[in-house]
Chains A and B, each alone.
Chain A
Amino acid sequence: MSSPLSASAASGTNLATEVADPGTRATATQHEHPDSSNGLEKTIVKSYKAPIAFAIFTVIALVLFVVLGRDGVSTFRLSNDNDLIQLPALGVPTRIAGIVATVLLAVIAVLAYLRVRADRHVPLWLTSLFGVLFLFGFLAWAAAGQTLPVPGLLVGTVSLSVPLIFGAMGGVISERVGVVNVAIEGQLLAGAFASAVVASITGQPLLGLVVAMIAGALVSFVLAAFAIKYLVDQVIVGVVLNVLVIGLTNFLYSQVLSKNAEVLNSPPRFDRINIPVLSEIPIIGPTLFRQTIVVYLMYIGVAAVYFALFHTKWGLRVRAVGEHPQAADTVGINVSGTRFWNVLLAGAIAGLGGAYFTLGSVGAFNKEMTAGAGYIALAAVIFGQWDPIRATLAALLFGFASNLQNVLGIIGSPVPSEFMLMLPYVLTIFAVAGLVGRSRGPAASGRPYIKA
């Protein structure tokens, strides 16, 4: 996306590209070294990764949608019965939809090949278009003779993504400041536990949110203390913390909570708040604007993290400490202090995501109810290249794939359930390997800073 831009900006000075934000730089599917202005040094590495990936998917589409094509009409339901504005259901003949999709996919694959041959990179919008078309073809194929509720598919996507997005925000901040946060799972679980207990005792779900943040920050505190002060390997501390929090919450759940469930583990849930006007927009309204306060906090949180990280003094310091702590130290930034407080902040945000499991979703706390969401959030951080917006999109992609598996299972898809359960993970691997390309994290992430 920005590779030619940074390359041209960098003419003459290689330094400029090095300083450029790593997140945007690594998106290009093709790695061009900056041309030097006098033309002496020019290397262009052609990457056929994208066209090859497109070709493979086109072949899959050909086999699935055309050769194994199914007959019937696939109906996409676009509105729920209680929506103010009713969109008519969209019905497409399955076989024709499959053929059209396959032809378009083939066209894009050829286009991508031609672009790469002409020493140009494959733009992100083309990749996105390819993905959307493939998805359309797949949905039409899977829903032959059935009705696919599109709003339901999207609402479920958001529900499944919320904790991942909170976790990913915690991961982004922590890694940007130079501390690998493997303990997201622990922070989520601690948040879920603490919020359920406090909200049950006080009857105040908002208080539960605050306590969830404190609980997440406490887990972070241990991580920060060991990683920053005692220079222990950050990944190991993170893993140990996850196991510790699982053990601790399991123990407290079985010994304390389950024996006094009425008092300690029956928190009130947040009600859904419909935002006037916005909630009546077809498809988008039910998906984004009929949610609980936790989800609205998430929207604010993602925007705030993005803005603060890239447009404030705080963000500049955070990134400086994560990229080159020694340089940051030289200009008078307190490296350990910055890391410490930001890791705590990261934990607090992840803890808020934990509260979604209880107060925002099902109410009562259950053993290991985060079920590995923290690890997926960690993957979203890397997949999203340490950028809050991209990490959010990555988490949404994962949530979408998980919910697609639910919805297709319900309408009786021809794909075996075991395969569908793999789908979110397969998709993540493909997305990371095929579309994103090389990920480069903050340079000093994971390395303790020892002041000379």
Chain B
Amino acid sequence: MRYTRVLPVLAVFTGALLVLAGCSPAPAPSTASASTYCARMVTNQGGIDDRSFNQSSWEGLQKAETDFGISAQVLISTNETDLAPNVEQATASGCAFVLTVGFELADATTAQAAAHPATHFAIVDDQIDAPNVKSILFDTAQASYLAGYLAAGVSKTGKVATFGGGNQPPVTLFMDGFVDGVAAYNAKHGTSVQALGWNKTTQDGVFTGDFEDVNKGKTVTQAFIDQGADIILPVAGQVGEGAAAAAVESKTAKIIWVDNDGYDTLPAEYKPILLTSVMKKTGDAVEQIVGDDTKGTFTNSAYVGTLANGGVDLAPYHDLTSSLPAGLADEVTALKAAIVAGTVVVTSPSSPK
């Protein structure tokens, strides 16, 4: 049995990896300062580097560390059973501020907030009514309305598309705004650009069913391109990278990224096909709320990110700026001003109330 000799090597190898895995993800070094204010953040299953709200929330908190001299740590949930214990642990740390990210954490946050009235909580992407909880919500439909308008103007085939990771309000909010934006373009220009993948009336459309399977995102996007769509808005986290890969292969299709500016976060090969991004600036909101709390001005009134307060926005067009039809960029800017002024109202069943 020749293979027996290799076993010790294997054991050492595995052991070493485990040790590495165990010790390395040391939380950010606490910026020791005079302040004793500390904050804890709990992620949802997406983890800390999801290129979405967990990551941007943590970036916001890290910025707050340097800005306000506080100390922050993050508790990463890897599955659903981690959620409640992590919130409990974060609260038990005695820190003044606990941030939870994702609607999955709402129940645990509500329970801990009721048990610890002196601790301040904030939750991203869900609404909790409690005296010591601040809800951080984003009306992403406003920004994706602009994206839909833009996409309809840029499309050469007269078809644009969107798909989601799962049929949940934070996802479908993007899709509602997108199809309404396309409709707004059609109404203004007398065109008939079709938006595939989402039906606002029935609130149903195309979903990949998860936020991980990149290959599936590519297949869905290929199917959209087969149907003639040339601008695609994936609202599915990393699955959207599959959409970008399909767009690169098709040589004609373009992508609109979500949550952050894809130009900064996506691999370089996708830059030429990135039309714009619908940004949800969770980090800025978190930074501001922590800042308020250190100054003692914490309130439980919900923070709603809008175009008006800069909580949501449309990213620059970067490499594709010159490819936009004449006047379209100005129209989008004017539309943004109209939404900010309230003359254009973007509605969705999933809008934060």
Contacts and interface: CB of A to CB of B under 8 A. Distances in A.
Interface residues of B, number: 51
Contacts of B48: 254
Contacts of A156: 219, 222-223
A251 B167 contact: no
Contact of A251 (B25, B218, B222): B25
Nearest to B46: A367
A367 B245 contact: no
B161 A410 contact: yes
A113 interface: no
Interface in A342-356: 356
8 contacts: A361-B242, A361-B245, A366-B238, A371-B210, A409-B163, A409-B197, A410-B197, A410-B227
Contacts of B227: 149, 152, 410-411
A35 B206 CA distance: 54
Interface stretch (B1-9, B95-103, B272-280, B281-289): B1-9
Contact of B21 (A247, A363, A403): A247
Contacts of A25: none
B47 to A, nearest CB: 7
A369 B239 CA distance: 9
B4 to A, nearest CB: 6
Interface string A304-337: 0000000000000000000000000000000011
B204 A416 contact: yes
Contacts, number: 142
Given A222-B14, A362-B241, A409-B206, A262 B25 contact: no
Interface of A: 80, 149, 151-153, 155-156, 159-160, 163, 221-222, 224-225, 229, 247-248, 250-251, 253-255, 258, 261-262, 265-266, 269, 272, 336-337, 340, 356-357, 361-364, 366-371, 402-403, 406-407, 409-412, 416-418, 421
Contact of B226 (A152, A224, A225, A269): A152
Nearest to A159: B219
Contacts of B2: 337
B167 A418 contact: yes
Interface of B: 1-4, 6-7, 10, 14, 17, 20-21, 24-25, 47-49, 78, 161, 163, 167, 196-197, 199, 204-207, 209-210, 212-220, 222-224, 226-227, 238, 241-242, 245, 249, 267-269
B8 to A, nearest CB: 11
Contacts of A361: 214-215, 218, 242, 245
A369 B218 CA distance: 12
- Binding site secondary structure of chain A: helix
- Please name the 4 residue pairs, one residue from A and one from B, whose CB atoms are nearest each other, closest first: A152-B226, A371-B213, A409-B206, A362-B245
A407 B229 CA distance: 13
B223 A163 contact: no
Contacts of A402: 216, 219
Contacts of A160: 215-216, 219
A411 B163 CA distance: 13
B267 A261 contact: yes
Of B199, B215, B223, most buried by chain A (CB within 10 Å of CB) is B215
Given A248-B21, A407-B223, A410-B223, A224 B210 contact: no
A408 to B, nearest CB: 9
A419 B88 CA distance: 36
Contact of A163 (B199, B215, B245, B249): B215
A360 B14 CA distance: 29
Contact of B219 (A229, A251, A266, A406): A406
Contacts of B21: 247-248, 251
A222 B10 contact: yes
B197 to A, nearest CB: 6
Contacts of A221: 6, 10
B212 A369 contact: yes
Contacts of A149: 223, 226-227
A412 B199 contact: yes
A205 B275 CA distance: 29
A363 B267 contact: yes
A272 to B, nearest CB: 8
Contacts of B210: 371
Nearest to A408: B206
Contact of B205 (A250, A258, A336, A417): A417
Contacts of A410: 161, 196-197, 206, 220, 223-224, 227
Contacts of A371: 210, 212-213, 216
A409 to B, nearest CB: 4
Contacts of A367: 47, 49, 212, 238
B166 to A, nearest CB: 9
Contacts of A407: 223
Nearest to B4: A229
A368 B206 contact: no
A157 to B, nearest CB: 9
A362 B143 CA distance: 28
Given A155-B222, A156-B222, A409-B207, A364 B241 contact: yes
A77 to B, nearest CB: 9
Nearest to B217: A362
Contacts of B214: 357, 361-362, 366, 369
